[in-house]
Amino acid sequence: MPLSMAKAGEENSVKKVGGNAETRQFLENLGFVVGSAVMVVSAFSGNIIVNVKDSRVAISCEMANKIMV
């Protein structure tokens, strides 16, 4: 399922990162690599705050749809 559908407080593992090469590279630079643990902290106004690799990152719902967990 896409990361945008994950529940807050639930830890998941990244299975696949989609999108074009530039988008995939951007997300991988933020820490969204296959096998890494991610947890949705909160979702509001179309944005999602995620814990990934001991950092909090805010991404748009559109970007979260490209990350499969």
Spans of all domains in the chain:
3-68
pLDDT band at 45 (very low <50, low <70, confident <90, very high): confident
Percent of the chain with pLDDT over 70: 100
Mean pLDDT for all residues in the chain = 92
Structure tokens at 2: 């896409």
Mean pLDDT along residues 15-29: 93
pLDDT band at 46 (very low <50, low <70, confident <90, very high): confident
Return all residues near 69 (Cβ < 8 A) that are at least 6 apart. 1, 2, 3, 6, 12, 13, 14, 15, 38
Question: Distance between alpha carbon 23 and the CA centroid of its chain, in Å?
Answer: 12
Global pTM value: 0.88
Q: Which class is domain 3-68?
A: mainly beta
Mean pLDDT along residues 3-29: 92
Question: Distance between alpha carbon 11 and the CA centroid of its chain, in Å?
Answer: 11
